[in-house]
Amino acid sequence: MATNLPARLNKEPLIDAIFEVRFTSQIPASIILPGILYNNLDGDKKLDSLPVAQVPKNVRDADPNLRYAPLSRIDWTIFFISISDYSVLISCKYPYCGWKQFKPAIDKLIAILDESGIIDKVERYSMKYIDLIPSQEIQQKVAMINFDVSIANHKLEKEQFHLRIEIPSNDFVHAVQVVSTAQVVLHNGIQMEGLLIDIDTFVAQFNDSLKSLRKDLLDRLEAIHLANKTMFFNCLRPDALKQLEPEYE
């Protein structure tokens, strides 16, 4: 287990950072929240409707893949805020601005949601970080990840792989997805390819009010951020971490 975590990486692989809250509401949130958020966010902003908004609500609600799909998005300074009927998420534009800027933006978002009064219960909140390490030979990729995979008496050594596993850890569950060769297109059109490590750390079945979450939100954010960061570094072997040129404080 990683104990002394790097403060930063000189070869930063992070391509996306996302905080999401899922909830129940008596009113379709996608109708009310975009206007409330737009009016209460300062700085440059732009509101756009997304393609899923054209799908009928009864179809979205019946499909687990669409239930939390964003229907609208606010382009807000260095962030995106995406809204569905049952969730709101805030993500950072590339390149990542850093936790010192991301954390207060999350706090601001939760404050606006709480004061809107339309959210009944929070069901789940999560922090997701997605990292992409530039392409290498497949054997090098296998050697970078701290895992030992065998199936049908075959040990993974030089094959392409796509692995997903949910790992419980104290108050959190880490949904870890590792893809040997992934191709991504960032919001600014940049195309990248490499070894993808996607870690979604969440608190499921929170089942409490947004006001309760907000009361000690900053401590909760620090805890879930640290848990996610620790899991990421635990996924890497020492030689892989060395390639990213870590710095410690």
* DSSP, residue by residue, 192-219: EEEEEEEEEEEEEEEEE-HHHHHHTHHH
Task: Answer yes or no: is pLDDT of 2 > 60.
Answer: no
Q: Which residues does 101 contact at the CB level (< 8 Å), separation at least 6?
A: 78
Q: Percent of the chain beyond pLDDT 90?
A: 90
Q: Which residues does 228 contact at the CB level (< 8 Å), separation at least 6?
A: 127, 128, 129, 174, 199, 201
pLDDT tens figures, 53-63: 999 999 999 99
Q: Percent of the chain beyond pLDDT 70?
A: 99
CA-based radius of gyration for the chain:
19
Per-chain mean pLDDT for the chain: 95
Task: Answer yes or no: is pLDDT of 1 > 60.
Answer: no
**Identity at 24, one-letter amino acid code:** T
Instruction: Specify the pTM.
Output: 0.95
Q: Closest Cα to residue 36, out of 79, 77, 81, 102?
A: 81
pLDDT tens figures, 133-183: 997 798 999 999 999 999 999 999 999 999 999 999 989 999 999 999 999
pLDDT tens figures, 3-52: 689 999 999 999 999 999 999 998 889 999 999 999 999 999 999 999 99
Output the pLDDT for position 4: 86
Mean pLDDT of 62-84: 97
Output the pLDDT for position 249: 86
